[in-house]
Every structure is written in structure tokens, then in C-alpha cells.
Homo-oligomer: A and B are copies of this chain.
Amino acid sequence: MSFHSPFRNMFAREGIFSEQGTQGALSMELTMKIEGMKIYDLEQPRFAGMPSFPALTPPYHYGLHRRHSDTYNPEQSGPRSGASAILSPDHSGTHVDAICHQADELKLMGDVAVAPGVESPHGFTQLAAETIAPFFTQGFMLDVAHFKGAPALEENYAITAEDLEGAMKAQGRLLMPGGVILIRTGFGQFWNDAAKYGKAAGLSPDANRWVLAKNPRAVGADNLAWDALGVRDETTGATLSGHLELLARRGIYIFENLNLEELAANHVDHFLFIAAPLKLKGATAAPVRPLAIEIQMQSSEFMQP
């Protein structure tokens, strides 16, 4: 009983890594079957015009200015490269918020005052994106859209604690502390329709408190902002109250703009969650392409009520 046993088949000589398999690396198929182990890709594709908050400026952009033909020299088989630069808000596309993204009374998590030396022209010197350790832990998805019997929740719907409790029970899941809790609104399917996606459902203040009680290492959703937009928490007076409570007060990471559609289509709600956010020094968020691998186990192992 050891770590490497499942990999024995994976690397078998006659296995998937034939030359044909290598060719497959060029295909658009972004989920791989490795001897029955499917890897789910939770990142939305990145392109100019993808959904984003209007306040996040300048928006995502990629313009190709170095073309293959610019310096083509057949005698020397080259140069023959194209390249360019991306411009992207740190909170653009699928990303995870760094702890420094939010302040509580102008203090970061851990009572760190927002002062020169902490907040600088080139970002934060504490709790910024480069301090986020890779995620390699169990993940759970609560499919609230499915629980409510709809392909997607209603526009601008504020998910309640009751919705989350109901989905958890319907799915028969016990959320483990230290894991990652992902909430599905169903709006991930509208990624190519920025106007529609901008009206995605999000979490109400009481739903945030329900999540906090589960003591996760991180949370995430298939919407722009995790929180329901425009809802003010009576206790704190805050909008986007989850951001205040999770990031600034508890140090719990928030993933946004996840693609949970394929997990949902395959009824996968418990998985190994792997995410390695880019170490952008000073940044308030990091783009990331999280992966999920289904965990198959007897419910008796983890799921006692």
C-alpha cells in the first residue's frame, strides 16, 4: 500500500505514452484519461472580452507583434519565432485572491497595517500572491444549481445558508476542515457571454458564515466575485462581506471564475484539488489553472454525519 502503486500502470511502457499519445498533446482536448483517472480542468480560457469587473483596468489583452515572417531567413532556418506580451488584471479570469487583497479597518490579516513599506508602488510586501503555497488537498463541490433543479441559478440570486446545507445533505457529503469548498451557480456555462455572466448568483452573508464554520483552507465559485453583488451585510456594514470575513479576517483564499461545468456533468463532487497560482511578487491575486481528480472511496471512510 504505497503512493506509487497507482502510477505503476500509468507509466507502463505499452501505455498511453506512445508516440500517438504525444501527438495528443497538440489537441484541444483538455481533459486526460490516465488509466481511468480523469483530470478535470477548472480554468476558463483567457481572451480579450472575457467576463470581468469593469473597474479592473486595463482589461486583458494579447496582441501579437512579433510574427514568424518578420525576420524569416531560410538559409539559417530562422529566426522563426512569434512572441508577444499579455496585459491582465491580477483578478482577471480564473484566479485566486491573495490575502493582501482585502483590508479590515486598513489592516491586513494578522493585524498588519496598510502603510508605506507594506503597500508599495509595486504591490504588497506581505501576504501577496507569491506567498500562496500550492494547493494539493481534497476539494468538495456543492452544486447549488443542481440542488435547485435548474441549469443555473437565477440572475443575481443570493445563495443562502439553507441552500448550502440542503445541497450538502442531498449530495451526502461531509466537508472536511482544511479542504477546498467550491460552490456551483451554473454560470460557468456563460463564460462566452460576458453580460449574462456578470449577473451570476453569489453567496449571501449568511451563506458565508455557513462556509466559515466548515473551516476550509480555500473556497471558490463559478462567478466574478464569490459574494452576491450589491448585498450589504447588516453586521459588518460591508458589501462583498465574504471577502472581508474570509480573506482579511481569517486568511481563507477565494478562487473566482472557476469552470465547474464538467465536474457537474460527471457528478464529481469530491476530488483531489491541485492548484499552483503564479508567484507574482506583490500582486493581490494570481491567475491559476486548477485541476481536479476524482477521489473514489467508500463513503464510510469520510462521510459519517
Contacts and interface: CB of A to CB of B under 8 A. Distances in A.
Interface of A: 1-8, 10-11, 13, 15-19, 21-32, 34, 36-37, 39, 41, 43-48, 55-59, 61-72, 74-93, 99-106, 109-110, 114, 116, 119-124, 127, 130-134, 136-138, 176-179, 215-218, 232-233, 236-241, 243-244, 248, 251-253, 272, 274-285, 287-291, 295-297, 301-302
A102 B80 CA distance: 6
Nearest to A289: B276
B78 A63 contact: no
A243 B77 CA distance: 11
A278 B289 contact: yes
A167 to B, nearest CB: 21
Contact of A18 (B77, B84, B132, B177): B177
A88 B89 CA distance: 11
Contacts of A41: 134, 276
A88 B176 CA distance: 38
B76 A176 contact: no
A70 B116 CA distance: 5
Given A4-B295, A101-B83, A68 B232 contact: no
A217 to B, nearest CB: 5
Contacts of A243: 81
B64 A82 contact: no
B22 A215 contact: yes
B5 A239 contact: no
Nearest to A243: B81
B86 A121 contact: no
